[in-house]
Amino acid sequence: MNEVRMGMLADVHATQDPAIIASVEGMAASAAPHNLEAYAKALARRDTLRRQWHAFLQRYPLFLMPTSAAPPMAWDADLQGNAAMRAILDQQAPLMSIAILGLPGLHAPTGLAQGLPTGVQLVAAPFRENRLLAAGRIIERDAAMPAPPFGDD
C-alpha cells in the first residue's frame, strides 16, 4: 500500500469513479505507513519467502490452496468502510500473498456457495503457467459449474 500511496492513488483519482476511489482508499487506509527502514525490511522478508517458495515448488511442482480465507463476499462489501476493508484484506491473504511474492497463481472454479462462485487457487514456480492452465482446465471441467445466466461467450 505504500507503493499505492506514492503513485497509483493519483491515477485512481483520475478515473473519477467513486466506487474505485473509495475501494482503493479503503485499502490504503488499512495498511500502516512505513518508514524507509521498515519498507526495506519488508522487501528483505519478501525475498526470503520467495526463496523458500521457490525451493518448495522445486519439490512440489503444483500447489493447491484456498483463494480466500472466507466465503465469497457480498457485492460492494469493499465499500462498507475501513473496518470492512481491513477484514476483506485479511480474508484475501492467500490470494494477495501469492501475488506479492510474484508467483504465478490461478483461481479455478469449483462450485457455488449461496449463489456466488467458489474455487481454489493453484500456485506454480515462475514461468510454469502451463502447469496452472493444465490443472485449472481439469478442475474447471470436473466442477460442472452451471452456465452463467447471460450465456457462455
> Does residue 24 fall inside a structural domain?
yes
> Does residue 84 fall inside a structural domain?
yes
Query: What is the reported pLDDT for 152?
Result: 53
Question: Quick one: which of 69, 133, 88, 139 has its CA closest to 106?
Answer: 133
* Same domain, yes or no: 70 and 27: no
* pLDDT at residue 136 is higher than 90: yes
* pLDDT at residue 60 is higher than 70: yes
Query: What is the reported pLDDT for 108?
Result: 94
Confidence category of residue 125, pLDDT binned at 50, 70, 90:
very high
Confidence category of residue 101, pLDDT binned at 50, 70, 90:
very high
Confidence category of residue 106, pLDDT binned at 50, 70, 90:
very high
Domain count, the chain: 2
* Same domain, yes or no: 70 and 120: yes
Coil, helix or strand at residue 51: helix
- Give the domain range for residue 88: 61-145
Q: What is the pLDDT of residues 69-88, one digit of tens each?
A: 988 888 888 888 888 888 88
Contacts for 66 with CB less than 8 Å, ≥ 6 apart? 94, 120, 121
* Same domain, yes or no: 73 and 8: no
What are φ and ψ of residue 133, in 5° steps?
-65, -40
* Same domain, yes or no: 136 and 96: yes
* pLDDT at residue 66 is higher than 60: yes
Q: What is the pLDDT of residues 10-41, one digit of tens each?
A: 899 999 999 888 888 888 888 777 788 988 89
